[in-house]
Amino acid sequence: LGDKYNHVIYRSANNHLNELYWTGTGSVGHGDLTVLASAPNALGDPSPYVDTARGANNVTYRGSDGHIHSLYWNTGAVRHDNLTSAAGSPLAAGDPFGYYTAHNDSHQIVYRAADGHLYELWFVGTNAVTFWDLSAGSGAPPAASDAVGYYSAPTNTKHIFYRSLDGYLNEISWTPSGGHPVHRNLTLLAQAPLAVGKPTAYFLAVDGSHHVV
């Protein structure tokens, strides 16, 4: 952000989300985000991202109620939204992965439900949140791990990665403007060993290469 602050978000033993923050070599401050926002306790770990259009910190997480919640703030009060209630989406069985794309001012939060389907909550700017079923749309197998992902600007595509029950690493990709989501089994395509954990992924704009570890 423009304020040049570092932010570390974590879940403590009382299931509150806490923030450590500092700038440069200055002292480290602390805030209990759960208390500040009067938000539900966390059932899982948080997924933070930055809204560059508004210079806002955003933290998404799975609450003790199974809903996906969002905490957001600039330099003032921490505010809270219940995204699951607002969108009418299924309850979460895993932790969300949230990210922001500046070119279309869009927030995206992907999470795993009890049926193994991956759902995306999304909204533009401060507009209402909606959702859709990525697994049903792409014909992808149920997820056994939580999802990670990124946006590729050169191809204008969004990419989500996860481990299925058979240990394969899978990709669901689509064009944000309404393109049909496509599924690929990356493990089979690469003839790679099966996975036993959750993947991580990143995109290198310098050479247009995609990486899943």
% of the chain residues with pLDDT over 70? 99
What is the reported pLDDT for 78?
97
Whole-number Å distance between alpha carbons of 194 and 57: 36
Q: What is the pLDDT of residues 52-80, one digit of tens each?
A: 999 999 999 999 999 999 999 988 899 99
* Integer Cα distance of 6 and 9 in angstroms: 10
Listed residue (115, 114, 104) closest to 176, CA to CA: 104
Residue type, 153: A
Does residue 62 contact residue 95 with C-beta atoms inside 8 Å?
A: yes
Q: pTM of the entire structure? A: 0.95
Q: Mind listing the pLDDT tens digit for each residue in 135-166?
A: 999 999 999 999 999 999 999 999 999 999 99
